[in-house]
Amino acid sequence: QVQLVESGGGLVQAGGSLRLSCAASGRISSINVMGWYRQAPGKQRELVAAITSGGRTNYADSAKGRFTISRDDAKNTMYLQMNSLKPEDTATYYCNAPVRSVVYWGQGTQVTVSS
């Protein structure tokens, strides 16, 4: 079983930056793909970015050029560096780790971007 705990959210002005962290209870080196998702009020949860164990990344169009996903397997932690934040980035951000047939989610961290 994998437990995921997000941190790093908060209130920031438009144009600002935040760095989210996702700490895993177990070794993430064996997890092929991990991702960051977000869900705004009244909207569906959407993929923001994903990263493989080999370091390959994939970004939603809304995140390209502004967000950077990374992982430190030695620390069992995944990160999301978010720059040039916009009010439309306001959402609860979740980390995600599919392991075999089970998909694990963290509890989420709130990001609020004021205009």
Amino acid identity of 96? N
Residue 15: predicted pLDDT: 98
pLDDT band, very low/low/confident/very high, at 101 (cuts 50, 70, 90):
confident
Q: What is the pLDDT of residues 41-77, one digit of tens each?
A: 999 999 999 999 999 999 999 999 999 999 999 999 9
Q: Taking the CA atoms of 100, 101, 106 and 110 in sequence, report the sign of the dihedral they define.
A: positive
Amino acid identity of 8? G
Question: Looking at the predicted structure, is the pLDDT value of residue 19 above 90?
Answer: yes
Amino acid identity of 85? L
Residue 28: predicted pLDDT: 78
**Spatial contact of 109 and 53, defined as CB atoms under 8 Å apart:** no
State the average pLDDT over residues 82-101.
95
What lies within 8 Å, CB to CB, of 11 at 6+ separation is: 112, 113, 114
Q: pLDDT averaged over the chain?
A: 95
